[in-house]
A = this chain, B = another copy of it.
Amino acid sequence: MERLSDLWLASGLYQMSWGQAVMIAVCLGLLYLAVARRFEPLLLVTIGFGGILSNLPGAEIATGNGLLHLTYVVGIETGAFPLIIFMGVGAMTDFGPMLANPKTLFLGAAAQFGIFATLLGALGLSALGWFDFSLQQAAAIGIIGGADGPTAIYVAGKLAPELLGAIAVAAYSYMALVPLIQPPIMRALTTARERAIEMRQLRTVSRVERIVFPLLLVLLVGLMLPAAAPLLGMFCFGNLMRECGVVERLSDTTRNALINIVTIFLGLAVGSKLAADAFLVPSTLGILVLGMAAFAVGTATGVLMAKLMNLLTREPINPLIGAAGVSAVPMAARVANRVGQEANPHNYLLMHAMGPNVAGVIGSAVAAGVLILLAGE
């Protein structure tokens, strides 16, 4: 009899709180979006399932010596997982289009305004008394506008680990929603004629340029802003392995087995931050709203920057590719291409949009460095 009562007291049914039930429903929703709608499935499947496990009362997977908590401590508190993912992303990134037209880097710079506007917005909402975000927390929320998962997790892990779950969910969800968020903004800020602009075909980029570029980038970031050097350094390392052509077996493993393994555990570890008591708080709502604003503002400033450049330089730029400057690789570049083809069916913007797209990765890593340096501590 006593055994039966032990079993009952230890059961999830007995121990579950309303919050945990809600969070499980939320996680099932994330899984639905990932599987049925293909919303960033690599991360939302793993985060969503990790979130379910973390809200099973009594399972203690996301606390103490539970696997997900240990994974969080080992992989995210140290920064190791986002850095390794960034290395893998580097090993998948083709800088060719950007090297063929380096001016597009400015678009990647402009789109980072979303980060800082959101930071200000978070501080403003706190000044209004609606929320109570510290400077660190506001900076971590702003980085959602970087539209770059590993960067957001890295920064949130450093500046506001208590918000990491909501920030990661917002970042990946909005990256998946880019095809819905961006087009209205892009259309509102451009004329049909601007959207129809055809761009000159990109020149071929030599192998040596591709090899030298990651070295140039890491040295420049080391000289200018060492706080961004871990992120961009690992990114450049992955890219150098990809381009140098003599370590193909390492590069292949980096962008396959290694990034896959780390993605699984990163997702589970992020999921461990979706426990009800940490996630079902008012600030999560603020983060979701502000994150959406971050994407919208970044999209707008990217497009406006392209229009500004058209005023200043001779060679025409289709302003749609400015929206790809937020990053969200490669989704935002595809969106630019699609919206461009609506205006002009002969318009192939994909390659042109890849330049600002990868520039946005660099831009938000630089912004991350500034935030860690100046808002940290």
Contacts and interface: CB of A to CB of B under 8 A. Distances in A.
B78 A67 contact: yes
Contact of A83 (B67, B241, B370): B67
A261 interface: yes
Given A6-B373, A373-B7, A45 B78 contact: no
A263 interface: yes
B219 A24 contact: yes
A6 B375 CA distance: 11
Nearest to A13: B223
A278 interface: no
A362 to B, nearest CB: 16
A233 interface: yes
Interface string A224-242: 1111011001101100110
Contacts of A7: 225, 370, 373-374
Nearest to A66: B230
Interface stretch (A189-197, A252-260, A351-359): A252-260
A34 to B, nearest CB: 6
Interface of A is mostly: helix
Interface in A254-296: 254, 256-258, 260-261, 263-264, 268
A205 interface: no
A36 to B, nearest CB: 9
A68 B60 CA distance: 28
29 contacts: A6-B373, A11-B225, A12-B225, A12-B226, A35-B211, A35-B244, A38-B246, A41-B244, A42-B247, A42-B249, A45-B240, A45-B241, A46-B247, A49-B218, A49-B237, A52-B222, A58-B226, A59-B229, A61-B233, A65-B79, A67-B234, A249-B256, A253-B256, A253-B257, A253-B260, A253-B264, A254-B264, A257-B258, A258-B261
Interface of A: 3, 6-7, 10-13, 15-16, 24, 28, 31, 34-35, 38, 41-42, 45-46, 49, 52-53, 56-61, 65-67, 70, 78-80, 83, 211, 215, 218-219, 222-227, 229-230, 233-234, 236-237, 240-241, 244-247, 249-250, 252-254, 256-258, 260-261, 263-264, 268, 370, 373-374
Closest 4 CB pairs of A and B: A58-B226, A56-B222, A59-B229, A253-B260
